[in-house]
Chain A
Amino acid sequence: MRLTDHEKAMLDGSHGAAKARAMDLLLRYGEALGAERLVETNNVAGAFNASTPSVRALVAKGFDAVYSELNLDSTEVVEVPRMAVNTCQLITGIDNAKWRIQGISDDLAEQQKRGEAFFGRRGVNMHATCTPYQVGNVPVKGEHCAWMESSAVVYCNSVLGARTNTEGKESTGAAALTGRIPYWGFHLDLNRRATHLVEVGIPVEDIMDWGLLGYWLGEIVQDEIPVLTGALVNPALIKLKHFGAAASSSGGVEMYHLPGTTPEARSVEEAFGGRPIADTLRYGSAERRRAYENLNCASERKIDFVMLGCPHNSIEQVWLIASLLEGRRIHSDTALWVHTPRALRDTAERNGYVRMIEEAGGVVMSDTCPAISRHLPKGVRTVATDSAKQAHYLPAITGVAAWFGSVRDCVEAAIAGTWNGTLQ
C-alpha cells in the first residue's frame, strides 16, 4: 500500500507505540483487502466497551491491555492515547442503570463503568447505541466514516449517503487513533452503484412490512446493492432503520437505493450508473409470506418475554408503545423490555412515556439489547419481538424460540401472555 509521509511516521513509531500498532493493523488489513491506500476519516463508531465475562482476564491486566488486544490486534500492550478523531461507542452489553434486571452481576456492571471512565476521558463518546444517527452522529453526504454495526452501516451508506464499509472492533480501534481507514469498497464511487433491480409488487407501508421486505431481500442478494421500485410508502427513519437491519441480518446488505428517497439515485438509471443489471427480483405476497415463516420459528404460544426496540427505538416508537400500554397491565408471567438510546430515554422520561410503560409492568432499557448482552429474563423459552434482526439472532445466540410480528401484536402478546399474531 502507498502511505503518506505522516502515515509512515505513525507506522515507524514517531507518534507513539499505540499509533504504530494501529498503523501496522491498518497495513495488514489494507493488504488483505487489496487496497492501494488509506483514506482520512473523522468519524469512527466502534466497540470499546469491556462488558462481557470473556474479557475479564484482559481487564485484569488493565484497559490498555484490553484496547491493545481487542481494538488493535496487538499482543504487545501499548498505552492508549486520546482518540485522534471523533469517535463514539456503539451498543454495549450492559444497561448502566438496570443491569440487575438484566441479571448481570454487580462486578461486571462495575467493569463496564470502569472501562467507560477510561475510554470516555480519552474521547470515546458514550452514545452506547446501535443507532448513533439518532443521537447526534449524523455524517453528511460523502463523508468518509469508519463504522461498525451492520444496521448503522447500511443506514449511513444508503440513507445518509456517507461512506463506510462494515468495519470491525479492531479496524475502528486503529482508525480512532490514526484517523485512517483503507480506501476500499464503499469509499469509492464505482462500488456504490446498484447491482440488482427489485420490483416490489405489493404495497410496503407499515414497519413490519419493511422488516419482511428487508429480511427476504438480504437472504437473496447477500451483500450486493439492490435498487427498489414499487409502492414503498412513506419511507421514514424508523422504517428504513428496520429494513436495513433486517437486510443486513439475513444477508450482508450494506447499501441500497430507493430512487427519489435516498441521496445517490434520483432514478433507477442513476442508481445503476451504467453498471449492468445482474438480476431482477420480484417481491410479492408469496415472498412476503416466506419471510414471515422463516422468521417465526416458535411453536409454543405462551410468551415469556417481549423484546421491542432493535435497532434501538426512536422516540415516536417509544410513544407508540406507551400509548398501546396506557391503562393496561402486562401478564404476570411475561416480561416486556423496550430499548432506546439513553439520550432518547431522557426525553421519554421527561414526556412521561417511561412511567406509562412502567405502570403497565414494562421496563425501558438503554445501552444494550438481549442479543448483544446474551441476557434475557430468567427461564425464558419463547420470545415475541417486532424486530426481524432480533428474531433472526436470538434463537441462535440464546436458544429461545421466537415469534415475529408488529409492535401491536407484540404488545397484545405481553398483555395476554400468549401469541396471537398473524400475517394479514
Chain B
Amino acid sequence: MSEVATHTIALHGRRVVGGCAAGEALVTRQTISGWGGIDERDGTIIERRHELRGQSFSGRVLVFPGAKGSSGWSAYFHMTRLNGVAPAAMIFTRMTTKVALGAVVTRAPAITDLDQDPFAVIATGDWVLVDADRGVVEVTKR
C-alpha cells in the first residue's frame, strides 16, 4: 500500500447556486473585481496589484472572499460562461449582491457560510468537489 494516502476533508455550508462540480482549487484571500478585474475571454485575473494576476480560474474551483468593485461583476462572470471559461464552482465567504448575482448567472455550483474557514482548509492545487445541492464541499489535499 502506498503511504501517500489521500486525505479528504468535508466542509458544510449553504447552497447559493445548485449543482455539483469538481476541479482544482484556485485560492485567494483577496476579493476579486469582475469588470476591470478579469479578462472574460480567458478567465484570467488582470487587476494590477492582485496576488492572482495572470492566473486563470477557467474550469477551477474558485475560493475567494467575495466581490469588489464595479457593478459589472455579474455581467463579466456571465460572459465567462458564454465564452466557456467560467469557474467550475465557487466558494466564497462574504455575501454581497455582486457575488450572489454573479454566481447565479455564471450557473456554476456555489456555496457560502461554511462551518470551517475555507482559507485554512483549502490550498491552490487541492482537488475540490462542490456539491451545492447537499451543501457539502469535499477537499482532497495535494
Question: Which residues of B lie under 8 Å from residue A248 when comparing CB positions?
Answer: 69-70
Q: B19 CB to closest chain A CB, in angstroms? A: 12
Question: Which residues of B lie under 8 Å from residue A25 when comparing CB positions?
Answer: 104
Query: Are A166 and B48 in touch, CB under 8 angstroms?
Result: no
CB closest chain-A residue, reference B97:
A165
Docked Cα-Cα span, A153 to B68, in Å, equals: 13
Docked Cα-Cα span, A135 to B73, in Å, equals: 25
Kindly state whether residue B23 has any CB partner on chain A within 8 Å. no
Question: Which residues of A lie under 8 Å from residue B16 when comparing CB positions?
Answer: 32
When A149-B71, A169-B78, A396-B46 are in contact, do A34 and B37 touch as well, CB less than 8 Å? no
Q: B63 CB to closest chain A CB, in angstroms? A: 17
When A170-B105, A248-B69 are in contact, do A33 and B46 touch as well, CB less than 8 Å? no
Docked Cα-Cα span, A396 to B68, in Å, equals: 15
Question: Which residues of A lie under 8 Å from residue B104 when comparing CB positions?
Answer: 25, 28-29, 32, 73, 170
Question: Which residues of A lie under 8 Å from residue B84 when comparing CB positions?
Answer: none
Question: Which residues of A lie under 8 Å from residue B100 when comparing CB positions?
Answer: 29, 32-33
- Pick from B75, B97, B110: contact of A166, CB under 8 Å: B97
Q: Could you give, for residues 58-96 of chain B, a 1 whenever the CB lies within 8 Å of some chain A CB and a 0 otherwise? A: 000000000111111111001100100000000000111
Q: Could you give, for residues 306-350 of chain A, a 1 whenever the CB lies within 8 Å of some chain B CB and a 0 otherwise? A: 000000000000000000000000000000000000000000000
CB closest chain-B residue, reference A27:
B104
Within 8 A of A (CB), among B95-139: 95-98, 100-105, 110
Kindly state whether residue A47 has any CB partner on chain B within 8 Å. yes
Taking chain B's interface residues, is the majority helix, strand, or loop, or is none over half, making it mixed? Answer: mixed
**Max chain A CB contacts within 10 Å: which of B74, B78, B97, B100?**
B97
Docked Cα-Cα span, A397 to B102, in Å, equals: 20
Kindly state whether residue A9 has any CB partner on chain B within 8 Å. no
Docked Cα-Cα span, A279 to B75, in Å, equals: 33
Q: A177 CB to closest chain B CB, in angstroms? A: 16
Query: Are B74 and A169 in touch, CB under 8 angstroms?
Result: yes
CB closest chain-B residue, reference A399:
B46
Q: Could you give, for residues 25-39 of chain B, a 1 whenever the CB lies within 8 Å of some chain A CB and a 0 otherwise? A: 000000100001100
Query: Are B97 and A185 in touch, CB under 8 angstroms?
Result: yes
Q: Could you give, for residues 227-260 of chain A, a 1 whenever the CB lies within 8 Å of some chain B CB and a 0 otherwise? A: 0000000000000000000001101100000000
- Pick from B36, B47, B68, B78: contact of A252, CB under 8 Å: B68
CB closest chain-A residue, reference B31:
A222
Kindly state whether residue A116 has any CB partner on chain B within 8 Å. no
Kindly state whether residue A167 has any CB partner on chain B within 8 Å. yes
Query: Are B79 and A54 in touch, CB under 8 angstroms?
Result: yes
Name 5 extra pairs, CB < 8 A, besides A167-B71, A170-B105. Answer: A32-B103, A148-B71, A150-B71, A168-B102, A223-B68
The 6 closest A-B pairs by CB, nearest first: A168-B74, A148-B71, A165-B97, A252-B68, A32-B100, A169-B75
Query: 25 pairs across A/B with beta carbons < 8 Å?
Result: A25-B104, A29-B100, A32-B100, A32-B104, A32-B110, A33-B95, A34-B14, A54-B40, A54-B79, A73-B78, A73-B104, A73-B105, A150-B71, A165-B97, A167-B97, A167-B101, A168-B71, A170-B75, A222-B31, A223-B96, A248-B70, A251-B68, A252-B98, A297-B48, A396-B47
